[in-house]
Copies of this chain bind each other. A is one copy, B any other.
Amino acid sequence: MAQEKKLVEAITSMEEDFAQWYTDVVKKAELIDYSSVRGCMILRPNGYAIWENIQKQMDARFKETGVENVYMPMFIPESLLQKEKDHVEGFAPEVAWVTYGGGQQLQERLCIRPTSETLFCDLYSNIVHSYRDLPKLYNQWCSVVRWEKTTRPFLRSMEFLWQEGHTAHATAEEAEERTKQMLNVYADFCEEVLAIPMIKGRKTEKEKFAGAEATYTIEAMMHDGKALQSGTSHNFGDGFAKAFGIQYTDKDNQLKYVHQTSWGMSTRIIGAIIMVHGDNSGLVLPPKIAPIQVMVIPIAQHKEGVLDKAYELQKRLAVGYRVKVDDTDKSPGWKFSEQEMHGIPIRIEIGPKDIEANQAVVVRRDTREKIVVSLEELEHRVGEILDAMQKEMLGRARTHRDAHTSVAKTYEEFKDAIANKPGFVKAMWCKNEACENKIKEDTTATSRCMPFEQETIGTTCVCCGKPAKVMVYWGKAY
């Protein structure tokens, strides 16, 4: 039993210290390891396999909307980065600079991409000539570097993996439509696959992307009530096109500027999966994203026929599910706690008595419910259980979020909510940045978004009392 306890005892409980619980889980579930480079993490097989599944499923959704993948260089010459004023101001302070290459000092230093707007614009200025060349719907999967002072696995690291889509369109309307379309692709993916409900909305001027006309965002609530910005989609209008000279000859023979968008989602979303679904035994992965969905654990595996039966179940289930047998020489108890720590949605316990009774014990990771299943019905029942788990995980996350969302009509209510009720606060705002700044200073909360689904919860700004223009979700954020 000493062995069994070790794995779980090694993690701090989430009620005691959520931040430490998070760090313990990412390490004990072997998602990441720290590297010799400050602020850079190593994605180990368990962590990378989650990203591979995200990538595969998101990529298919992108391609359904006509997106094509490309790969751009990781370097941006300093002069190119500086072409769009707001953009360079936003990113220059946090980039890494290459100054030497091949033993020589470079004539112009190169930054490592913090994002690739400038490179895509440079490309588009070369390959877009006519309305026939539009739209361009390019995306790339790559890593980017942002020189962060404090880092946390998945949530904020100096280098991280992401995808960045960059599109160019003939009209402003088309660009706006694409910006929203991709936000919806993100939100649908997060809800349907990751079981994480999202608030969709627009960022305030203060919080929008450097160089964008409008930034749309999906915001999720973690188990501790904090917000996590999970994906963003930007409409650039023709700002970048003017800075980079991206023009096309339209059907009417007029030279016009293109309208552009960009949108990105990163390994940060793995942090959301952990912090929305995890518990004090470790990770809980939604079945649709779990690299292993079913772990078959033989009981008394030294007894004749047990391992063979376990492999037989694996073979049967492998037709429809991602399934493995834990046939190591560890004790069943240790195997259970590993399966729980790794968040594998279902374990199937099969021992001599089960074989005799032609049954197996199926244990759900999220509820720990033990379900005795006749072996005849195994495939069917496993499917049902995984479907139920996927659905109920989303339901629980939504219930948790709604239960931790409050409404504030006065500044007293607002401050009290932020201080004492972890979660989102819905409140009206006058759209004056001064109020946004004051709220941040007074409470550390920031505007998460101006949701597309507006509610009229008052007529005056929760901060200054002047006429309100919009309802905003506020919260403390990662």
Contacts and interface: CB of A to CB of B under 8 A. Distances in A.
Interface stretch (A70-78, A163-171, A309-317, A361-369): A70-78
Contact of A145 (B40, B74, B94): B74
B96 A70 contact: no
A126 interface: yes
A49 interface: yes
Interface stretch (A14-22, A100-108, A459-467): A100-108
A290 to B, nearest CB: 15
A43 interface: yes
A3 interface: no
B77 A36 contact: yes
B97 A93 contact: no
A37 B110 contact: yes
A70 B94 contact: no
A474 to B, nearest CB: 29
A149 interface: yes
Contact of A94 (B35, B74, B102, B112): B102
A411 interface: no
B68 A45 contact: yes
Interface string A85-117: 000000001111111111100000110100000
B102 A93 contact: yes
Interface residues on A, range: 35 or more
Contacts of A41: 73
Contacts of A126: 33
A123 B35 CA distance: 7
A138 interface: yes
Contact of A40 (B36, B42, B75, B96): B75
Contact of A71 (B96, B147, B161): B161
A35 B99 contact: no
Nearest to A138: B45
Nearest to A43: B71
A388 B161 CA distance: 41
Interface string A313-355: 0000000000000000000000000000000000000000000
A119 B68 CA distance: 32
A75 B123 contact: no
Contacts of A110: 37, 96
B100 A99 contact: yes
A96 B103 contact: no
Contacts of A62: none
Contact of A143 (B37, B74, B109, B145): B74
Given A35-B123, A70-B45, A99 B97 contact: yes
A399 interface: no
A48 interface: yes
A84 to B, nearest CB: 14
Interface in A32-81: 33, 35-37, 40-45, 48-49, 51-52, 68-77, 80
Given A70-B42, A77-B36, A98 B97 contact: yes
A159 interface: yes
A192 interface: no
A112 B37 CA distance: 12
30 contacts: A33-B123, A33-B126, A35-B122, A35-B123, A37-B75, A37-B76, A37-B77, A40-B74, A40-B75, A41-B73, A42-B73, A42-B119, A43-B71, A45-B68, A48-B70, A52-B69, A71-B143, A71-B161, A73-B159, A74-B159, A95-B101, A96-B98, A96-B100, A96-B110, A98-B112, A102-B147, A102-B148, A103-B147, A112-B112, A142-B143
| Pairs A-B, 7 closest by C-beta atoms | A102-B147, A40-B73, A45-B68, A43-B71, A97-B100, A101-B147, A96-B101
